[in-house]
Structure 1
């Protein structure tokens, strides 16, 4: 791909970037499963795979002449004090599973340390590709298309979870959740010009999700539904401002 290719085919470029992220991330997961690794070495292998994806993403930034600041690695443009309010609905959403299930941390501390490292690189990696690269590519079309397009790609690629034996109904919920989360995060970066709020939320969300390891039962369905409602309301609230021309 070249800068000219991205200008002429932004959607193709956005999808290719997202597929690179998904493939490199999946390599580590597949290696851990094939090797039958225990929790800690599995997380470390997956962390290394995601770190490789991050390096590839940073190379793509240079390749397509995007500065780190242009991609969103900057302080929120709305000001640090005002930007705190963008985090409130996201934190409320993560408080729901903690309130329902409680912080039942029963595994050895080293497992949670490895999980924390993994969720940090995953949060950084996915925001770099989906709200950094893909969003930036689609901005050439319009701000609204960048928000919707990057969110659709983010949601659809979460269908890859079906390959790991996840129930179809759960996969559909994950896609819907990912699409709404993608919309919210894309609107936030559209307004603040910063990836950091999305990165922090992504880390917190993944750590809580992976550490609780909830069964897909009626209670989990209620929790996910409540989170989706919060995301939907938040998206509506951000929509007009986030999709307005810069």
Structure 2
């Protein structure tokens, strides 16, 4: 299913996107050495409920997971890259943490992810991984607009990741959002320009470049959810929800302090 919002629905989408951005930035600030992943999940729960919103994850039960997910946020550490199930783990200096959050408010979903290094240590490999996903995300957004094809976005994302030296896994990628978290069209993290669905005003897309340092192969944890690099290498994941408008693409999950 592909949903298109009416122009009058855009303010609600902006509200949800702003909430997701605020929660992620708050959690980033609180995620210090000694923080437990389960604490992060409880903080996310409190902020979501206080805002009168709903988690998209608690009851999430797709075919590829061992559901329901049962938590409010995905917390992926080091070699974990996607769908990280919060568990009893205390963050250490130099850990690479990815937080992925999808929330529904007023009938509209927004989905975003950030990766960052915890503490004072900043391994060069981790910094490079994060930088590549953030640059790829910016490239994908720059390629978006009415009349563009999904393949244009995939090609822009994939070009940045490939040029940075990373292999690209195509099992999981970006997707449409709207009244539900996962909708068509699928947006692969690599592809050919000029191919696929033509973007239209009113479409919401969650673009999410992610990479692993030296492999494109995933393995699944015993928890049935957490996806890790097959080699144990580090990983990173960046994601924004954007709205296609008559003028181009508007980032809905951009933190307030980066507006200007």
- Range of TM-score over shorter length: 0.3 to 0.5
When the two structures are superposed, what TM-score results if normalisation uses the length of structure 2?
0.34
When the two structures are superposed, what TM-score results if normalisation uses the length of structure 1?
0.35
Point out the structure with the larger helix share: 1
